Amino acid sequence: MRCYFHLVNNHEEILDDEGVEVRDLKDAMAQAQKAISELRQQIGDEAESWRGWRLDVVCSEGSLLHSIPLSATLH
């Protein structure tokens, strides 16, 4: 199945238009954690500016599979 990882807050969305092919939800969650780790490396000291954002894991049909708040993971 193909999953997409959208960055979302109350006012903006940064949509993943490519997605990643995964075996199952467990694999999708592992990919989400990998994406968050990469984001953490990129933003460094700017983590506070991502408060209120979340990473939404969405299937190809558009259904929300899981949501991870970035404020809890970027500290």
Highest mean pLDDT (candidates 4-8, 48-52, 67-71): 4-8
Q: Which residue has the tokens 């979340």?
A: 54
The number of folded domains in the chain is 1
Backbone angles phi and psi of 17, in degrees to 5: -95, 0
pLDDT score recorded for residue 75: 46
pTM of the entire structure? 0.82
The overall average pLDDT reported for the chain is: 87
Banded pLDDT at 74 (limits 50, 70, 90): very low
What integer is the mean pLDDT of 29-51? Answer: 80
